[in-house]
Structure 1
Amino acid sequence: MAIGLLILRVVLGAFVATHGIQKATHLWGGGGLEASSAEFRADGFVGGKVTAFIASSTQITAGVALVAGLLTPLASAGVIAVMGIATIVKLGHGFWSQNGGYEYPLFLTALGVAVAWTGPGLLSLDGAFGLSGFWVTGVSIAATLAGIVGAAGTYLVLHRRTRITEGTAR
């Protein structure tokens, strides 16, 4: 079980962290904060570079923490929040990713929830510090709810209610 949890944490954390690095920089085909700001504006978000920086830094921090298995409940909440927002944004495009849908971000969100409920495992920094045995239902619920509330709150605060179409506000 420890090896399985290690693989789950490392793969999820690496995917999320590198996606955040792409948002913040030009590494691995990333467009940097300018392109991320434009993408967020196109998706209906306000805040420009600040929003892009918050999203990318949350992904990088949560991803690296998951890889290390450090403060895993907080890392899980970060993944749930960031990927939950991506899921919400893509709902209007249908399910499948090849059509711009929510398939992939929903999958990563679900993996974040899975880690929130399984814990980091013994092969983690949390395990080395004796925190992996501290996993109780309350911690899992708190991490999951923090991620959901973080996603919903961020969406409600930063997403525009109006769409600009052909120069006219609706």
Structure 2
Amino acid sequence: MDVGLLLLRLVIGALLAGHALQKLAGAFGGGGLARTGAVFDSWGHRPGVPMAALAGTAELVGAVLLVLGLGTPLAVAIVVGTMLVAALALAPMGLWATQGGSEVPVLYGATAATLGFTGPGALSLDAVLGWSWFSGVGSGAAAVGLGLVTGVPVAVRAHRRRRVAMTP
């Protein structure tokens, strides 16, 4: 099981880091801060460039922590919160990524939430540091709850701004 958790952390963390670097640096065909900021503006996350920088930085920090298995509940909260905001912004396009929908952030967020409940496994810095209490229902629920509590207000604020901007 520990090898499986390590593999899951490495894959989801690496993909999420790449996702963040698309925003922050235009890597891997991403828009970089200028183009991503314009998209964030259109979603109601204003000012767009600083909000894109904040989202990308949070995603990158969450990704690195997941890969290392360090401070796993904090990593889970960061990823769940940022992916909730992203999923809600993309929800009007449906679920599937091929239509610009919320499939990818839902997958990242659900995977992070799962790691919140399982813990990072024995092959992690949390285990090396003796932070074994960073797993289980209580820790997972607290991490997911923190992610939701921090993500919902950001998403609601953007939704209101987007709705106001669309009102004739």
The TM-score normalised by the length of structure 1 is 0.91
* One-letter amino acid of the structure 2 residue matched with residue 121 of structure 1: G
Answering whether residue 64 of structure 2 is matched by residue 73 of structure 1, we say no
Q: Which residue of 2 aligns with 1:114?
A: 114
- SS at the partner of 1:162? helix
CA–CA separation in structure 1 for the residues paired with 2:28 and 2:97:
20
Shift of 1:2: 0.2
Deviations for 1:44-97, whole angstroms, at most 9, x for unmatched residues? 221222101110000000001100111011001111111111111111111211
Q: Which residue of 2 aligns with 1:141?
A: 141
Q: Calculate the aligned-residue CA RMSD, in Å.
A: 1.6
CA–CA separation in structure 1 for the residues paired with 2:134 and 2:87:
30
CA–CA separation in structure 2 for the residues paired with 1:114 and 1:95:
20
CA–CA separation in structure 2 for the residues paired with 1:162 and 1:155:
12
- SS at the partner of 1:121? coil
Q: Is the 2:17–2:59 contact (alpha carbons within 8 Å) kept by the matching residues of 1?
A: yes
Q: Which residue of 1 aligns with 2:163?
A: 162
Deviations for 1:140-166, whole angstroms, at most 9, x for unmatched residues? 11101011112102112344143545x
- Gaps of at least 5 residues in structure 2 are none
Answering whether residue 140 of structure 2 is matched by residue 127 of structure 1, we say no
- Gaps of at least 5 residues in structure 1 are none
Q: Is the 2:126–2:134 contact (alpha carbons within 8 Å) kept by the matching residues of 1?
A: no
- SS at the partner of 1:44? coil
CA–CA separation in structure 2 for the residues paired with 1:135 and 1:117:
5
Moved more, 16-25 or 150-159: 150-159
Q: Which residue of 1 aligns with 2:13?
A: 13
Deviations for 1:92-134, whole angstroms, at most 9, x for unmatched residues? 1112110111122111111111011110100011111111354
CA–CA separation in structure 1 for the residues paired with 2:141 and 2:162:
30
Q: Which residue of 2 aligns with 1:54?
A: 54
The TM-score normalised by the length of structure 2 is 0.92
Q: Which residue of 1 aligns with 2:37?
A: 37
Corresponding residue pairs, total: 167
State the identity %.
38
CA–CA separation in structure 2 for the residues paired with 1:163 and 1:93:
19
